[in-house]
Chains A and B, each alone.
Chain A
Amino acid sequence: MSVADGVFLLSSAVALAGALLAVGLRNIFHNILGFALAMLGVAGIFASLGSDFLAAVFVLVYVGAVAIAMVYAVMLSHPLDQPHRPRSVPKIAAAVLVAAGVAGALWNVLRQVAWPVAVPGADAGAAVTGRRFLTDYVLAFELISVLLVVAMMGAVMVARRSRPGRGTW
């Protein structure tokens, strides 16, 4: 078993365990911590596939930014002090059934496809990706920048407290 295999096994276990914590626990704050754990695991899976740059991006964006933003949203909308209502068993059973059905159908399709055999591929490191991003895919790169600026301004506008006498916005 090589190092990549060990990293992959460990990361997969961490990702799936974190995902189960993220959807299974009752406390929304624990869900966010489980989500951060799951994203660390996904980053490890990327690292084991040779995509070191994406692993760093996932840790930075999801663990570093998205999870923190979610903690802030939970603090601003304090759902923690609301009483827990009992979950209805038929709804949980239906959700399990639908999710398992979709995942099973997906796996059935994926299993039957004859994927091309892996050949020692080209370099997937940060240098190649960065060069492609600023040459072949520079339009996508710029569009992401514009999208993030627009989303940030939109988030500020939507969450802003409207002042009395100045209309809704």
Chain B
Amino acid sequence: MVNLPAVLGVATALFGIGLYGLLQRRSLVAMLIALELMLAAISINVIALTTLTGQDPSLGQVVVLIFVGVAAAEVAIALSLFVAIHRAAHDIDVEHLSELKG
């Protein structure tokens, strides 16, 4: 049951759900959540493609740990930006943040 197509299918579904959320939600925090879901799907792919195809599994773990570190840094910066944006514009709805729109 834990075979490669099943794991890749779950990861693809998770990626699709994340992409839908990124396109459809208007709150910046909700868009960040959707982005993290897509990153998790990619991590699942890396782990599945290194452990289930006979490659070096610890290499995949190292790569995914780097992903997690970059994602944590990204979340820290993004959330502080949202707080700063809310302080300046009193809103984190992307459709209202259109001051620079031509």
Residues on A lying within 8 angstroms of B by beta carbon are 1-2, 4-5, 8-9, 12, 15-16, 19-20, 22-23, 28, 31-32, 35, 38-39, 42, 45-46, 48-51, 53-54, 57-58, 61-62, 65-66, 69-70, 72-74, 76-77, 79, 82, 87, 91-92, 94-96, 98-100, 102-103, 106-107, 110-111, 115-119, 121-124, 128-129, 132-133, 137, 140, 144, 147-148, 150-152, 154-156, 158-159, 161
User: Quick one: which of B16, B21, B27, B80 contacts A102, CB cutoff 8 A?
Assistant: B16
**5 further interface pairs, Cβ-Cβ under 8 Å (given A77-B82, A99-B17, A124-B61):** A22-B17, A22-B37, A77-B83, A107-B8, A151-B76
Give 1 or 0 for each of B65-79: 1 = CB within 8 Å of chain A CB.
110111111111101
Q: B101 at interface (Cβ–Cβ under 8 A)?
A: no
Q: Name 27 interchain pairs, CB-CB below 8 A, sorted by A.
A: A4-B1, A4-B2, A22-B37, A32-B33, A35-B33, A39-B40, A45-B10, A54-B61, A61-B68, A62-B36, A65-B72, A66-B75, A70-B29, A70-B79, A73-B79, A82-B93, A99-B16, A102-B15, A103-B19, A118-B3, A118-B52, A118-B54, A121-B51, A121-B54, A124-B51, A129-B61, A155-B77
Q: Is the interface of A mostly helix, strand, loop or mixed?
A: helix
Number of chain B residues close to chain A: CB under 8 A: 73
Question: Across the interface, which residues of B come within 8 angstroms of A91, CB to CB?
Answer: 24
Question: Across the interface, which residues of B come within 8 angstroms of A53, CB to CB?
Answer: 61
From 71 to 99 in chain B, residues with beta carbon under 8 angstroms from any chain A beta carbon are: 71-77, 79-84, 86-87, 91-93
Q: Is the interface of B mostly helix, strand, loop or mixed?
A: helix
